[in-house]
Amino acid sequence: MGTITTRDGTQIYYKDWGSGPVVVLSHGWPLNSDSWEAQMMFLASNGYRVIAHDRRGHGRSGQPWNGNEMNTYADDLAALLDHLDVRGASLFGFSTGGGEVARYIGRHGTARVAKAGLIAAVPPLMVQTEANPGGLPLSVFDGIRAASLADRSQLYRDVASGPFFGYNRPGAKPSQGVIDAFWMQGMMVGHKNAYDCIKAFSETDFSDDLKKFDVPTLILHGDDDQIVPVDAAARASAKLVPHAKLVIYPGAPHGITDTHKEQLGADMLAFLRS
């Protein structure tokens, strides 16, 4: 575990576990690298070097007022890979982290990348526009912003205990531990950073970034994802990424890194070994 300092002086915290071929993991909003801990433990135990950082403003990284947008997130990831001189890496992004991975490849190419994975990821574009009629209305994200300003602690509890993990579905068995972990990670995010990131993950168009993918790519999503709907995300991304492998988990929610961690770990490992 360590930190790097970016060009604008922001400290970025990262974990570096295990040894072997490199896997790099980018997390979702409003979480941090701890949200990947099941996959980090599993992959590092199976012969991989697994690196995961806390995005600027999140977790144990610095909380700058500026730079809370996808270009800078991608440049921070580039700075980390350059600092560690990572080569032949497999980059996986969950949710917002999928946007970060897409924008990294769009801006920095694949010189350091061997494979890519988009896990319940936000690309190509979340918000509804004339060109993206299947997206979510801007009012949805305005509502998240309003809730964040009103009582973000309660917002994180509501998201975690409801749609994020599918705990609002009939027959679901909520884990209070999983809900508490989500809330704790959320409360570690800088207030301004969390607020700005809502625009970053919802209004950034990654279509051109996806077209630049030239490495084997896994796109994996639950078809009961209430946060990032599968049709406007995974299925649309699969049409833009050349030769992508699309895997759909029937009935799975957004937070599959927890709810489907055994299946996800096995699928990630199989993809890495393929």
Q: What average pLDDT score do residues 260-271 get?
A: 98
Note the pLDDT of residue 166.
Answer: 98
Note the pLDDT of residue 93.
Answer: 98
Q: List, as one string, the DSSP characters of 64-108.
A: -SS--SHHHHHHHHHHHHHHHT--SEEEEEETHHHHHHHHHHHHH
How many angstroms separate the first and last alpha carbons of the chain? Answer: 29
pLDDT in tens, 224-245: 999 999 999 999 999 999 899 9
Note the pLDDT of residue 174.
Answer: 98
- Rounded to an integer, what distance in angstroms lies between the CA atom of residue 252 and that of residue 255? 8
Q: Is the pLDDT of residue 212 over 80?
A: yes
pTM confidence score: 0.97
Note the pLDDT of residue 229.
Answer: 97
Instruction: Name the CATH superfamily for 1-271.
Output: Alpha/Beta hydrolase fold, catalytic domain (3.40.50.1820)
Residues tagged active-site = 95, 225, 254
The mean predicted confidence, pLDDT, of the chain is 98
- Rounded to an integer, what distance in angstroms lies between the CA atom of residue 78 and that of residue 76? 5
- Helix runs in the chain, H state only: 37-45, 70-84, 96-108, 138-161, 176-187, 191-203, 207-210, 236-240, 256-259, 261-273
Bridge partners, 245 (sequence order) = 218
Structural domain spans, the chain: 1-271
Task: Check residue 127 and report its DSSP letter.
Answer: B
- Rounded to an integer, what distance in angstroms lies between the CA atom of residue 239 and that of residue 232? 11
pLDDT in tens, 91-121: 999 999 999 999 999 999 999 999 999 999 9
Q: Is the pLDDT of residue 1 over 80?
A: no
Lowest pLDDT segment from 43-47, 115-119, 122-126, 129-133: 129-133
Structure tokens at 207: 């279509």
pLDDT in tens, 34-83: 999 999 999 999 999 999 999 999 999 999 999 999 999 999 999 999 99
Name the residue with tokens 């770990």.
Answer: 265
